Homo-oligomer: A and B are copies of this chain.
Amino acid sequence: MAGGSSQPGRSVTSKILAILSAFETSRRALNLTEISKAADLPLSTTHRLVGELVDEGILSRTGNGGIQLGLRLWAIAQNTGRQLRDTARPFVQDLFSLTGETSQLAIRDGNMALYIDRVYGTKRIARASRVGGRLPLHATAVGKAILAFSEDWVMDAYLEQHLEPLTPHTRSNPVQLRNELSRARHNGYAITREEVRLGTCSIAVPVYHTGRLGCSIGLVIPTSHAANMERHLPVLYGISKRIEAATAHIPLETLLGIISGPDMNVPGREN
């Protein structure tokens, strides 16, 4: 039929999000047809919605017919979790200055580690993570630190899921991972060795907030000089304490922008 019916159960909101999600993965500009496919929407609908979004500044057109995310969206989104980023950034910079290694700050978003900030030098290194990017909690040092120092139910819930391996070294055995996390909790830090990508290792420590885990900070180090990563622990602990002190006065929710990851936010479980 011409017009009318649409896909029942799809609100305009969800269609708009579907369009935005098309840009969640791809870094380059997309054309209308690609967006249409990615969002699973008819071309004409995509055309109209994209047109509106461009007018609003949410999307923008490049010269050669490409479409990409607009600056307005970026500017609005900068308000998210601003308190944590603005407060913690100088300390993450300090961490980088003192160690010379790529420094990261991550929080838990559902069952992924979400990278909030990242400080690195000019030398080109292979990057697996990026600000705004996510990696599985069990594969990264910051993720392991989050798991190891969260309340027990977080780790328990996480270990019931399939542990996708990213490299041959990724821990995919729940029992093995649980042991490692217990050791991490006992030692006070977590490490990974080529578990995200070959050639890089990482070490991370938790950052507390009002007695509970708030986020974690860590270093990414090329395997070539990752023999004694623990040498960086004093600095990591020092920076962690500094961030803890600097953020102590901010309510946790304001800090993170969320209460807890949706996937693992089992209401009533924390009692």
Contact = CB atoms under 8 A, between A and B. Distances in A.
A68 B21 contact: no
Contact of A29 (B20, B96, B246, B254): B254
A237 interface: no
Given A13-B49, A52-B13, A132 B79 contact: yes
A3 to B, nearest CB: 16
A80 interface: yes
Contacts of A253: 29, 62-63, 66
A158 interface: no
A13 B14 contact: no
A17 B52 CA distance: 10
Interface in A116-155: 119-122, 130-134
Interface in A55-105: 56-58, 60-63, 66, 68-71, 73-83, 86, 89-91, 93-94, 96-97
Nearest to A25: B79
Nearest to A54: B262
A16 interface: yes
Contacts of A69: 76-77, 79-80, 257
* Interface size range of chain A in the complex: 35 or more
Contact of A91 (B17, B58, B93, B122): B122
A225 interface: no
B62 A130 contact: no
A133 B72 CA distance: 10
Interface string A8-23: 0001111011001101
A194 interface: no
B77 A73 contact: yes
Contacts of A248: none
A34 interface: no
A56 B24 contact: no
A73 B258 CA distance: 12
A56 to B, nearest CB: 5
Given A16-B16, A29-B254, A97-B97, A23 B76 contact: yes
A133 B131 CA distance: 18
10 contacts: A24-B79, A28-B254, A61-B259, A63-B253, A73-B80, A74-B77, A79-B132, A86-B130, A89-B119, A90-B122
Sorted from nearest, which 6 A-B pairs have the closest CB atoms? A78-B132, A77-B77, A74-B80, A12-B12, A13-B52, A90-B122
